Structure 1
Amino acid sequence: MKRFTVDGSDALENYLGRICQEVLRSIQALFRPSRLEALVLGGGYGRGEGGVLHTEAGDRPYNDLEFYVFLRGNRLWNDFRYRADLSDLGERLSVAAGLHVEFKIDSLRRLEQSQVSMFSYDLVSGHRRLFGSQTLFQNCAHHLAAAHLPLAEATRLLFNRCSGLLLVRRLLRKATARHSGRRGWCGKPPGETMLTKAQADFVGRNLAKAQLALGDALLAAFGEYHWSCPQRHRRLQSLSAVDSLPGLERVLQHHAAGVEFKLHPRRIFKSAEAFGREHAELCALAARLWLWLESRRLEHPFASPQEYGLSTVEKYPGTSVWRNCLLNARAFGPASLLGALAARYPRERLLNALALLLWTGDGSEVPGLIQHLQRQLQTKASDWAGLVRAYERAWLRYG
Structure 2
Amino acid sequence: MSARFTIDGSAALEQHLAVTCMQVRAGVERLIPRHKLEGLVLAGGYGRGEGGVLREGMRDLPYNDLEFFVFISGSTFLNDRRYKAALHRLGESLSSAVGIDVEFKILSLSRLRRSPVSMFYYDLVMGHRWIIGDDSLFAGCDHHRDASRIPLHEATRLLFNRCSGLLFAAERLAQKDFTTADADFVGRNLAKARLAIGDVILTMAGGYHWSCLERHRQLQVIAESDTQLVTHHAAGVAFKLHPTRSTKSRSELAAEHAALSHLAQTIFLRLENQRLGIHCATPSDYVTNSTNKCPEVPLWKNILIRLRKRGLPLSPARYPREHLLHELVTLLWTNRDADHRTMRQYTELWNCFN
Q: Normalising by structure 2, what TM-score? A: 0.95
* Corresponding residue of 1:107: 108
In 1, the alpha carbon distance for the partners of 2:296 and 2:195 equals: 30
**Contact conserved, 1:195 with 1:270, CA < 8 A, in 2?**
no
Q: Indicate which of 337, 342, 346 corresponds to 1:391.
A: 346
In 2, the alpha carbon distance for the partners of 1:115 and 1:253 equals: 33
Per-residue deviation, 1:347: 1.7
Per-residue deviation, 1:384: 2.9
In 2, the alpha carbon distance for the partners of 1:149 and 1:62 equals: 28
**Deviation string for 1:187-242 (max 9, x for gaps)?**
xxxxxxx522x222211111100000000000000001001111111100111257
**Deviation string for 1:114-157 (max 9, x for gaps)?**
12111111110010100124411121111110011111111111
Per-residue deviation, 1:36: 1.3
Amino acid at match of 1:347: R
In 2, the alpha carbon distance for the partners of 1:18 and 1:113 equals: 33
Q: Indicate which of 301, 314, 317 corresponds to 1:323.
A: 301
**Deviation string for 1:309-330 (max 9, x for gaps)?**
2322111225321211223455
In 2, the alpha carbon distance for the partners of 1:16 and 1:241 equals: 37
Amino acid at match of 1:355: V
Unaligned 5+ runs, structure 1: 180-193, 243-247, 364-382
Establish whether residue 195 from structure 1 lines up as the match of residue 179 from structure 2.
Answer: yes
* Corresponding residue of 2:93: 92
Establish whether residue 16 from structure 1 lines up as the match of residue 21 from structure 2.
Answer: no
* Corresponding residue of 2:40: 39
Per-residue deviation, 1:80: 2.6
Establish whether residue 268 from structure 1 lines up as the match of residue 246 from structure 2.
Answer: yes
**Contact conserved, 2:32 with 2:83, CA < 8 A, in 1?**
no
**Contact conserved, 2:167 with 2:331, CA < 8 A, in 1?**
yes
Establish whether residue 219 from structure 1 lines up as the match of residue 205 from structure 2.
Answer: no
Establish whether residue 347 from structure 1 lines up as the match of residue 321 from structure 2.
Answer: yes
The 3-state SS of whatever aligns with 1:322 is helix
* Corresponding residue of 1:305: 283
In 2, the alpha carbon distance for the partners of 1:217 and 1:318 equals: 18
**Contact conserved, 1:5 with 1:13, CA < 8 A, in 2?**
yes
**Contact conserved, 2:224 with 2:230, CA < 8 A, in 1?**
no
Establish whether residue 236 from structure 1 lines up as the match of residue 237 from structure 2.
Answer: no
* Corresponding residue of 2:129: 128
Amino acid at match of 2:244: R
Aligned positions, number? 353
**Contact conserved, 1:155 with 1:294, CA < 8 A, in 2?**
yes
Unaligned 5+ runs, structure 2: none
The 3-state SS of whatever aligns with 2:68 is strand
Per-residue deviation, 1:340: 4.8
**Contact conserved, 1:329 with 1:335, CA < 8 A, in 2?**
no
Amino acid at match of 1:140: C
In 1, the alpha carbon distance for the partners of 2:256 and 2:306 equals: 34
* Corresponding residue of 1:296: 274
Per-residue deviation, 1:79: 1.7
In angstroms, what is the RMSD of aligned CA positions?
1.6
**Deviation string for 1:33-82 (max 9, x for gaps)?**
11211111000000000011111141111111111111111112212332
**Contact conserved, 1:42 with 1:68, CA < 8 A, in 2?**
yes
Per-residue deviation, 1:83: 2.2
Per-residue deviation, 1:349: 1.5
Q: Normalising by structure 1, what TM-score? A: 0.85
Amino acid at match of 1:359: W
In 2, the alpha carbon distance for the partners of 1:130 and 1:236 equals: 32
Instruction: Flag as ranges the 4+ runs of structure 1 deviating above 4 A.
Output: none
In 1, the alpha carbon distance for the partners of 2:44 and 2:318 equals: 31
Amino acid at match of 1:125: M
**Contact conserved, 2:314 with 2:320, CA < 8 A, in 1?**
no
**Contact conserved, 1:362 with 1:384, CA < 8 A, in 2?**
no
The 3-state SS of whatever aligns with 1:291 is helix
Amino acid at match of 2:351: L
* Corresponding residue of 1:206: 189
The 3-state SS of whatever aligns with 1:335 is coil
* Corresponding residue of 2:310: 334
In 2, the alpha carbon distance for the partners of 1:313 and 1:228 equals: 34
Establish whether residue 284 from structure 1 lines up as the match of residue 262 from structure 2.
Answer: yes
